[in-house]
Amino acid sequence: MRWFVSLLFVAACTTEAEVDEICDEMCQELVMTCEYDAYPSFESCMQGCAFSREQGGNVKRYQECVTEAACDTFLIVDCEHEFGAAAAEEQGKED
């Protein structure tokens, strides 16, 4: 039984690390490459990504969408509405 619990713990940590890497990549794009005004610092972007994840946003698809948006502010906002915390909130209202 201990082995199973340990395995679950390791799997959960790996998932968390993967999400952190996704947030890191997205924030590199938003803050460093695009200089996106909504996030004045890398840390504020990471906090926003963590919030999105906590609210049920799809951070992987959000990151992919942001990369595809190529620094177009309107497309980045669309990404937030489609995959970020706002999307999870809207989905909750529909349920």
Residue-wise pLDDT for 46-81, tens only, equals 999 999 999 999 999 999 999 999 999 999 999 999
pTM over 0.85: no
Q: How many of the other CB atoms lie within 10 Å of CB of 19?
A: 16
Interval 18-36 mean pLDDT: 94
Angle at 53 between CA 47 and CA 58, to 5 degrees: 130
Q: Residue 19: its pLDDT value, please?
A: 80
Interval 9-17 mean pLDDT: 48
Structure tokens, 94: 């529909």
In the chain, what are the domain boundaries?
A: 2-94
